[in-house]
Amino acid sequence: MLAVAVANVGEREFRFECRRFGTTVNELRNLSAWLRAQTVQEVVMESTAQYWKPVWLALEGQFQLWLAQARSNRGPRGRKTDYRDAKRCVTRLLSDDLRLSYVPDAEQRCWRTLTRTKYQLRRDRVRLQNQLESLLEECQIKLSSVVSDLLGASGQRILRAIAAGETDLARLRELGDKRLHASDAQLKDALNGQPQPARRTLLTLYLQRLDLIEAQMAELERMIADAMKAHETAIVRLAELPGLGVDSAQQIIAEIGPRAEAFPSPEQLASWVGVCPGREESAGESNSNRSAKGNRALRRLLNQLAHAAVRKRDCYLQILFKRLSVRLGYAKAVWAIAHRLCRLIWKVLHEGVRYVEHGPAVTALTLKRRKQRLITQLKKLGYSVQLTPITAQETAR
């Protein structure tokens, strides 16, 4: 149900009119018609899980909408009712006490759905790999000890042969790649298990699920590339940052937009993401500098990108990380690199500039290899790549 309270803010004392509506399509249409009849101009609602989205979609384009974080509209314990919450939303919005959420436009929300679904599929793939590992342990098969990637090309060929009933160790050894570091004796010893028929059937089911996940991920990659076709240049510019690639660039644009227009400064973006120091001050003293919880998807991604950036050779961020880790330790230094990456992302998107590496040993060979790697990733996703050199004016900016 929806508890709705309407107030005339032009009067000295608020007089609320309250009504209750359902959440079906017809009820939401009735809500929209009633609000228009009350000459409502602005609507504020609490962010409650996923339940605010149908209401937002029903009212979008008709009113000025605001989405408030539920924690900022909490009432006194023991005196909480739905209508009191609705009235409190109005009064706190006018007094600027609500913490409002950033809600992008419909197109960007679609991008978010695609990229976040792809991330969930990637997590499902990791979970499936752990289940496969557990099943192989029950079969006394130590395949992951002799191959670097259990679900790589060699690992999948061997697993499918085992699921099909192959027991000849020599045949299984031939399915492995010639570049495997394990010797024939080590590989045969790792595969010398006795899986029962029930476990072979389970292995077949796991591999069928793996095929489904990979097919869905490939379809999502195609859909994301088509949806972001118009912002190809922004993706290319982001992918040039240390630690980033095409996939991470698409996720970033889906979260903050192709130009980060909702964030006037890099400090505001870092605060929204939650990669800057927090502050809990009382009596003039700060009791904690722990970062606030911001956008979870972007916090996770920036943390991963920071770990990748500090491992990139001859990179300025790696030099900065080594300098900071002596004083701050590993975890805080990586978080500082995530903050620096967040500011760089804002500058690349908001100002339309390109990243220029000022590391100590940037050679023509390393630049050529990185350029070729990015071109290959973009072509796999369906982009047509045309490189243009950076002008002196863009470098100065």
* Backbone torsions φ then ψ of 170, nearest 5 degrees: -65, -40
Cα–Cα distance, 35 to 62 (Å, whole number): 10
Confidence at residue 339, expressed as pLDDT on a 0 to 100 scale: 93
Cα 136-127-194 angle, rounded to 5 deg: 10
Confidence at residue 308, expressed as pLDDT on a 0 to 100 scale: 93
177 pLDDT band, cuts 50/70/90, is confident
More confident residue, 270 or 369: 270
Confidence at residue 62, expressed as pLDDT on a 0 to 100 scale: 92
Angle of helix 330-350 relative to helix 296-309, nearest 10 degrees, comes to 110
Confidence at residue 259, expressed as pLDDT on a 0 to 100 scale: 92
Could you tell me the two tokens for 237?
């510019």
Chain segment 70-121, per-residue pLDDT in tens: 888 888 888 888 888 899 899 899 888 888 889 999 999 999 999 999 999 9
* Backbone torsions φ then ψ of 182, nearest 5 degrees: -75, 145
Chain segment 110-160, per-residue pLDDT in tens: 999 999 999 999 999 999 999 999 999 988 888 888 888 888 888 888 899
Confidence at residue 118, expressed as pLDDT on a 0 to 100 scale: 96
Confidence at residue 373, expressed as pLDDT on a 0 to 100 scale: 81
Cα–Cα distance, 154 to 247 (Å, whole number): 25
397 pLDDT band, cuts 50/70/90, is low
Confidence at residue 341, expressed as pLDDT on a 0 to 100 scale: 94
pLDDT at 394 over 60: no
Q: How many CB atoms lie within 10 A of CB 146?
A: 20
Confidence at residue 393, expressed as pLDDT on a 0 to 100 scale: 56
Confidence at residue 297, expressed as pLDDT on a 0 to 100 scale: 92
Chain segment 212-225, per-residue pLDDT in tens: 999 999 999 999 99
Contacts 24+ apart (CB under 8 A), 331-334: 334/303, 334/306, 334/307, 334/310
Confidence at residue 360, expressed as pLDDT on a 0 to 100 scale: 66
More confident residue, 72 or 182: 72
Could you tell me the two tokens for 346?
């804002």
- Note whether 376 and 382 are within 8 A (CB): no
More confident residue, 129 or 391: 129
Read out DSSP for 93-115? HHTT-S-BPP---HHHHHHHHHH
Confidence at residue 171, expressed as pLDDT on a 0 to 100 scale: 83
**Mean pLDDT rounded to a whole number for the chain:** 88
Instruction: Summarize the confidence of residues 376-393 as an average pLDDT.
Output: 76
Q: How many CB atoms lie within 10 A of CB 47?
A: 20
- Note whether 88 and 73 are within 8 A (CB): yes
Confidence at residue 129, expressed as pLDDT on a 0 to 100 scale: 94
Residue type, 352: G
Residue ranges of alpha helices (H) inside the chain are: 25-37, 52-59, 82-94, 106-138, 153-163, 169-175, 184-190, 197-227, 232-239, 246-256, 266-273, 296-309, 316-328, 330-350, 364-380, 392-396
More confident residue, 280 or 135: 135
266, 338, 277, 271: which is closest to 302 by C-alpha?
338
Confidence at residue 176, expressed as pLDDT on a 0 to 100 scale: 78
Contacts of residue 85, defined as CB under 8 A and 6 or more positions apart, other chains included, come to: 3, 46, 73, 75
The percentage of residues in the chain with a pLDDT greater than 90, rounded to a whole number, is 50
Angle of helix 106-138 relative to helix 296-309, nearest 10 degrees, comes to 60
DSSP class of residue 217 equals: H
* Backbone torsions φ then ψ of 7, nearest 5 degrees: -130, 145
- Note whether 325 and 333 are within 8 A (CB): yes
